[in-house]
Amino acid sequence: TKTYLTGIQTSGMPHLGNYYGAIRPALAAAESNDSLYFLADYHSLNSVKDPAKLREDIRSVAATWLACGLDPQRTVLYRQSAIPEVFELTTILSTVTAKGLMNRAHAYKAARDRNEAAGSTELDAGINMGLFNYPLLMAADILVMETDVVPVGRDQAQHIEYTVDIAQAFNHLYGEHYSFPIPEGAYPEGTGSVLPGVDGRKMSKSYDNHIPLFMPENELKKLIRRIPTDSTPVEEPKDPDTSVPFQLLSYFAAAERTREVRKRLEAGGMGWGELKNELFEEINTRFGPMRERYDELMAPGSELDQILEAGAQRARRRAAATLAKVRRAIGID
Ligand code: TYM
């Protein structure tokens, strides 16, 4: 068996993209492998600066994992912030990581490009070190658990490559004493394996185009109804491949159902309104039962907190064992 690890930032309720890209594949892998799934609360500190909201978001991501079917006996579920070894390892890894590598990180480069486009002369304006160091902290998350496989969406591919680079740099220097296993990313298959948001771009909280997994039924219905579509009349043929509701449907409906809807759209006679009802039904049927479980877990006094506490203890034992080896390898023991 291999060790699987993945994390989700605690910056609001997870959305359909998180489910499709990470949660569902990770839970499938957990059935036959060692698995450690965690809440990346220090990563989200870059964007969430409101302590009450952060506390709520941490519970929300934990409740989501559990409501989606994570078995806390089988999978270690924990908060990143409960594992001090992660931060110690971040410091150690920073000494084998080229700054030039970090300069090329997508999120950092995108922030600089925005400054350039805005005509700013200081390209690093408004960019904090938390954003710059983000990939390094993520490498530590992965390496501290001696991870083999990281199930993530395609948008995380560069972070996985960086983790490999950093692990190799460490192994090159200290491999005689200790080597990290080299992890690999596992990405969802299929065309456009990045789930689109309501505006057709990648579904993302930062674009505000996301569909939260467990939003109340009536809000979900409204949100889906507001997805922009063109004004092709009901009876006219429509192109499913340029339609966001259709693309979303194809992720969640059975293949046969998707083929039927495609045919009806192409033939004419199916309106966008009907397509959206179809999409709502698919999402609501699939996530309705999980939403109930989610609400129970979010209630104060639920078993959530004990589960995280127990997970933290197990995760820490493992992290401490890695750090003991790493410290010995580098000569700080
Ligand atoms: P985060 O919190 O942005 O997203 C969590 C997971 O959801 C996936 N994802 C998507 N997949 C498909 N389509 C989409 N539209 C979509 N949007 C998000 C992401 O790829 C991710 O797998 N850096 C990570 C958190 C992290 C982490 C780690 C992950 C921190 N340390 C260590 C793995 C291992 C992030 O920001 O994910």
Looking at residue 190, what is its pLDDT?
73
48 lines ligand 1 (CB under 6 A): no
Question: Residue 35 pairs with which residues in a beta bridge?
Answer: 4, 75
Protein residue with its CA nearest to atom 16 in ligand 1 = 17
Mean confidence (pLDDT) of the chain: 96
What mean pLDDT comes out for the span 184-194? 84
User: Which tens digits make up the pLDDT trace of 87-139?
Assistant: 999 999 999 999 999 999 999 999 999 999 999 999 999 999 999 999 999 99
**Unique residue bearing structure tokens 């219905």:** 221
Atom of ligand 1 nearest to the CA of 43: 30
In the reported structure, the alpha carbon of residue 7 is separated from the centroid of ligand 1 by a whole-number distance in angstroms of 7
Alpha carbon of 161 to ligand 1 centroid (Å)? 14
Instruction: Evaluate: CB of 141 within 6 angstroms of ligand 1.
Output: yes
165 C-beta closer than 6 A to ligand 1: no
8 Cα nearest atom in ligand 1: 2
Nearest CA to ligand 1 atom 27: 7
Delineate the domains of the chain, giving CATH numbers in brackets: 3-195+303-330 (3.40.50.620), 214-294 (1.10.240.10)
Taking 90 as the threshold, does the pLDDT of residue 298 lie above it?
yes
Which pLDDT score is estimated for 252? 85
Between the CA of residue 126 and those of 50, 107, 166, 208, 282, what are the distances in Å? 18, 13, 27, 21, 42
Query: How would you classify the pairing of strands 184-186 and 149-151?
Result: parallel
Is the minimum distance from the CB of 250 to ligand 1 under 6 angstroms?
no
36 alpha carbon – ligand 1 mean position (Å): 15
pLDDT at 192 > cutoff 70 = no
**Residue pLDDT, tens place only, 236-273:** 999 999 999 999 999 889 999 999 999 999 999 999 99
Taking residues 281-303, what's their average pLDDT?
96
Query: Residue 191 pLDDT > 70, yes or no?
Result: no
Q: What is this structure's pTM?
A: 0.96
Question: What span, in angstroms and rounded, lies between the C-alpha atoms of 12 and 116?
Answer: 29
Residue 78: count other Cβ atoms within 10 Å of its Cβ: 27
Q: Look up residue 178 and give its amino acid.
A: Y
- Residue 296: pLDDT over 90: yes
> Is the pLDDT reported for residue 38 higher than 90?
yes
Give the model's pLDDT for residue 189: 86
Atom of ligand 1 nearest to the CA of 5: 34
State the distance from the centre of ligand 1 to the C-alpha of 153, rounded, in angstroms: 6
pLDDT digits (tens, 9 = 90+) for 154-172: 999 999 999 999 999 999 9
What was the pLDDT predicted at 51? Answer: 98
Average pLDDT over every residue of 280-286: 95
Cα 95–chain centre separation: 27
Indicate whether residue 67 lines ligand 1 (CB < 6 A).
no
Atom 20 (ligand 1): residue with closest C-alpha? Answer: 153
What is residue 258's predicted lDDT score, i.e. its pLDDT? 94
Does ligand 1 have an atom closer than 6 angstroms to the CB of 151? Answer: no
Q: How much of the chain exceeds pLDDT 70, in percent?
A: 99
Ligand 1 center to 154 CA (angstroms):
9
DSSP string spanning 151-219? E--GGGHHHHHHHHHHHHHHHHHHTTT--PPPPEEE---STT-S-B-TTSSBP-GGGT---BTT--HHH
25 C-beta closer than 6 A to ligand 1: no
